[in-house]
Amino acid sequence: MKLSLRMETVKNTVVPCKTLCDVGCDHGFVSIALVEDGTAKKVIACDINKGPLAAASDNIKAAGLSDSIETRLSDGLHKVTKEDRPDAIVIAGMGGALTVKILTEGREVLKTVSQLVLQPQSELFLVRKWLRNEGYNISKECFLYDMGKPYFVIDARPGEPTPHTDEENAFFDEFSEYLLKDKNPLYREYLKKGIENNETYLKGMPAEKRGELIKKTELMRKALLMTE
């Protein structure tokens, strides 16, 4: 089983743990890889849909890991209990708003969790904001391209986030404090390309509609400067 670079990055971000919940496990490839390489002793592979869960179950059986990976039909963390005592959670490949909904509704279960590995496909700012407000630190963030598409993988741990003004918080929620301070070269190129694209759009836009995009592009320029 060959994982995509995105899934491989998600897997490699997880630190050794006893019980991991893979929420929205789909095919179960990440769950399987995490047990196979010894990172997770046990995995609860959850999905809201029966089809993906059946596929995960077949893949888990084929890998001979039915004793270590349990599949569970669950909307988010609803069917995971405090008694399961997960110490790590993976939520990958879902939108930022859905990721936040799953975390919010699963708050009780998160009490035993020491690592959240999150790979939202959109609205990253919602996830970073939730983490900051709920007392999590982003200890690492990876930025990568897989098949030409950009992805962010967040490693969050319980802890007090660095204090900032509201304005700074909003800026870092949008542009990632970790990636900017890390001066990530790939992320720098991503920002540069985004600015160039916006400049092209702006040229073709009626003047009265440009305000929002001009503001956003100025913030992107500020972010780009921080990566120098």
Angle, to 10 degrees, between the axis of helix 29-36 and the axis of helix 5-13? 50
Stretch of 23-31, 125-133, 141-149, 216-224 lying at the interface with ligand SAM (CB under 6 A): 23-31
CB 28 within 8 A of CB 60: yes
For ligand SAM, give the closer residue by CB, 17 or 94.
Answer: 94
How far apart CA 114 and CA 108 sit, in angstroms, is: 13
How many residues at the interface with ligand SAM, by CB under 6 A?
17
Q: Is 75 in the site for ligand SAM (CB under 6 A)?
A: yes
SS3 (DSSP) at 15: coil
Position 3 contacts ligand SAM (CB under 6 A): no
Among 17, 33, 39, 76, binds ligand SAM (CB under 6 A): 76
**Which of 9, 17, 24, 118 touches ligand SAM (CB under 6 A)?**
24
Residue 24 burial (C-beta neighbours within 10 Å; 0-12, 13-18, 19+): buried
Show the binding pattern over residues 34-73: x = contacts ligand SAM (CB under 6 A), - = does not: ------------xxxx--x---------------------
DSSP 157-168: EESPPPP--HHH
Which of 144/170 has CB closer to ligand SAM? 144
- Helices 211-226 and 166-175: angle between axes, nearest 10 degrees: 80
The H-assigned helical ranges of the chain are: 5-13, 29-36, 50-62, 96-105, 124-133, 166-175, 177-181, 185-203, 211-226
Measured from the Cβ of residue 105, the count of other Cβ atoms closer than 10 Å reads: 13
Contact with ligand SAM (CB under 6 A): which of 7, 32, 88, 118?
7
Piece of the chain touching ligand SAM by CB under 6 A; list 24-32, 34-42, 108-116, 140-148: 24-32
Q: Which of 17, 69, 88, 92 binds ligand SAM (CB under 6 A)?
A: 92
Of residues 24 and 86, the one with the C-beta less far from ligand SAM: 24
Of 122 and 200, CB closest to ligand SAM: 122
Binding site for ligand SAM (CB under 6 A): 7, 23-26, 46-49, 52, 75-76, 92-94, 98, 102
